[in-house]
Amino acid sequence: MNPKPQRVLPTTLALLVSATLCCFPSPALAAGARQTISLDGHWQMEDGKEPAKIPAAFTHTVVVPGLANQAQPPFADVDKFISRENLANRIRSGLSPADWLTNHWQGKVEQNRDYFWYRKTFRAPSPRAAAWLRINKAQFGTAVWLNGQKLGEYSGCFTASQFQLGQAIRWNQENTLDIRIGAHPAMLPDTYPTGSDFEKIKWTPGIYDSVSLSFCDNPVIETLQVAPRVATGEITVQTRLRNTGATSATAVLAHTVKAWKGGRKVATAAPEMVPLQPGEEKVVTQTIKIPDARLWSPEDPFLYVVESKTGGDSVTTRFGMREFRFDAATKRAYLNGKIYYLRGSNITLHRFFEDPLCKDLPWQEAWVRKLLGDLPKKMHWNYFRFCIGPVPDRWLDICDEEGLLIQNEFFVWTGGPGWYKGYSRTHDADEMIRQYKDWMRDNWNHPSVAVWDANNETRDSIFGDRIIPAVRALDLSDRPWENSYNPPAGPNDPVEHHPYLMISGHRDKLKFSMTNLETMDGKPGKGALPSDTNPPLINEYGWLWLNRDGSPTLLTSNVYAQLMGTNVTVRERLDMYAYLLGAKTEFWRAHRQYAGIIHFVYLTCSYPGVYTADHFADVTKLKLDPAFADYMGEAFKPLGVYLNFFQPTLAAGTTRPYKVMLVNDAATPATGKLNLTFEDARGKTAASVTQGFSLKEQGDQSLEIALTAPAAPGRYLLKAAAQPTGKGAARPTISRRWVVIEKH
């Protein structure tokens, strides 16, 4: 019998009590230590229409963290909701705009419920001065009752909520906890962020991140932020303290820094006395020297922890010594003071939530670690965008441990002027600012979080004018902000480009041919970027999506019909997909016009009717399509090779020059030999030539190599293979082109 797949268990890192603190409780609770109890696991569940009427009976069960569509027995129509963005897409396909604007502006609800209720009982410990509940993430809107007494509400769908237990808790007794969430996005005000996605078809509610209880004495550590200073080898530690009691208290604030693995003590800070009046809050900022600091990077994801105590409370916070920025002068990204080229992909987890195969995969430890660790390393990726939808906290823990830089995007994709015809949409900026603050608070200690991404493909001045300026200074690490199609908020902030070269083929005649790449220089077209002086990123490209079964998606049916016709096999279509995507990746990397090349998309949903899809042959086992793994694995190697040739045919026996471009993303030089060959259908070499190459660290080189085509007509593979030399040299990087040799 096969064992049941392991879920992500309530590890100490998953049980964040405040948004920035990782607590490691010892087996025997020491005096002044915080006690944290996980509430992850099975909960009772029911649905309803009344916002304040707790169900009399709970007839379903569900696992938390998870989604409501996994409840047993299942609820009918659990995720049937059509968002206004998806309705806008349907208008383009013929739906009446008048009906949409009049009846369905907040979305079309297709289920007979407004709320889901969760219930769990727990036994409280002996009395402590402070006690609170933390829900890391739930959607859509959260309200909490303890023993029948309402504790409060929280509107955020992508950030952590905390509820003081107050007088409602029964110490040393059993307690009943009830949590109500909205069954669909329309249960929150129209101007509140609930997730905007023009291509998302199902909207599944749920408590999709961990839930925990925390208990401590005064003074309480509410939040703690660690900001590394690589140049000086120190950290800035900012601690927010509160006295929740009725009498004055003094915090004896002390910090000890250790290596995360092994626990070696690295540094200590002298205790600081912080007096606090009843109800008073203070923020204390301190600097701690880290001798011989070991820097965090994707190549060496070394982690530290800082143990912090007040005498009544204690927390442990994990961090990495790393700094990340962009520079307008060079238009490059810098990791720990050195140029660092970004290679990677996107994950749209909230689209994967609607996939029939999703189930509990996002909460299985082994599955997530392979998704974010093993496979990205094999694909030579160092950077991901978590696109239009946040991930459970444990995902970022794993990114910290595995070494993956993250562009963390808030779930906003509102489109541009004219997308909502006949309606002028306004935002509640104050609510957006509140939620962006919480979002930053939840994530600012993760070394993997490298970029705050305010939105996706959005044109709205509210982000640059109000939201980013209101929250930016909260991050002591001063991470870059990405503001999509809006002007960048800072002079060195990155700007995004989505060069979908084959987008014309969606509905009309395909105007782009791969042969066009032979004369293109890789620069963004005039007006393609919101700023020509800021560092550009490509974080989407392709427009070639296929479902996992090889069928075109809604956006690519017409593209493949023009590229290949309809009389092709599934394997031929998947091979073409990988071939073209790999060639485009080589092209964008070779021309060095961008700080990073980020492919779209590594993980999303795939079923009939979707707009985009990913590359898994088996998503449950995380088995990539072999052609994708082959072509894109080569295209993203640090030593990149681009064969600038896309002619479909050549005359037999003719000699011509071929341009081969090489890039070296590594911080060390690369030398070796470049082999240019023609291989026949059996893989036998029919013609070849060899030339040396020499690349500086992070350098590039273009070679012109003459080669004579085979005399025998037929289908061939033109291959450029760069083989590094030297001790421990990597395997060759290969660029391939399909070509037919015709009789001269």
464 and 500 co-located in one domain: yes
What's the domain range around 103?
41-209
399: domain CATH number is: 3.20.20.80
End-to-end Cα distance, the chain = 63
Residue 22 lies in a domain: no
557 and 679 co-located in one domain: no
Q: Which helix (H) or strand (E) holds 570?
A: helix 570-590
Helix, strand, coil shares, percent, the chain, to 5: 20, 35, 45
pLDDT recorded at residue 503 = 97
348 and 417 co-located in one domain: yes
Residue 585 lies in a domain: no
Residue 326 lies in a domain: no
Q: Return the amino acid letter for 246.
A: A
123: domain CATH number is: 2.60.120.260
255 and 183 co-located in one domain: no
Q: Based on the number of CB atoms within 10 Å of its own CB, is 728 exposed (0-12), middle (13-18) or buried (19 or more)?
A: exposed
252: domain CATH number is: 2.60.40.10
Say whether the peptide bond before residue 219 is cis (omega within 30 degrees of 0). Answer: yes
Q: Which of 319, 350, 375 is where one domain is finished?
A: 319
Q: Which of 292, 319, 346 is where one domain is finished?
A: 319
pLDDT recorded at residue 679 = 98
pLDDT recorded at residue 90 = 72
Q: Roughly what angle, to the nearest 10 degrees, separates helices 570-590 and 557-564?
A: 90
pLDDT recorded at residue 5 = 38
Spans in the chain with pLDDT lower than 70: 1-31, 91-105, 415-427
Domains in the chain, number:
4
pLDDT recorded at residue 337 = 97
204 and 244 co-located in one domain: no
617 and 496 co-located in one domain: yes
Contact (CB, 8 A) for 277 and 291: no
621 and 657 co-located in one domain: no
Report d(CA 295, CA 293) in Å as an integer: 6
Residue 702 lies in a domain: yes
Q: Quick one: how many helices (H) and strands (E) in the chain? A: 12, 40
Residue 393 lies in a domain: yes
pLDDT recorded at residue 562 = 97
Report in angstroms the alpha-carbon separations of 624 from 42, 94, 358, 425.
32, 36, 16, 41
419 and 487 co-located in one domain: yes
718 and 688 co-located in one domain: yes
Q: Which of 319, 351, 378 is where one domain is finished?
A: 319
432 and 462 co-located in one domain: yes
Reduced to 3 states, what is the DSSP secondary structure of residue 701?
strand
pTM, entire model: 0.94
pLDDT recorded at residue 103 = 61
Per-residue 3-state assignment (H helix, E strand, C coil) for 57-81: CCCEEEEECCCHHHCECCCCCCCCE
Residue 31 lies in a domain: no
pLDDT recorded at residue 16 = 34
Report d(CA 716, CA 628) in Å as an integer: 20
Tell me the pairing of strands 342-347 and 596-603.
parallel
56 and 105 co-located in one domain: yes
308 and 349 co-located in one domain: no
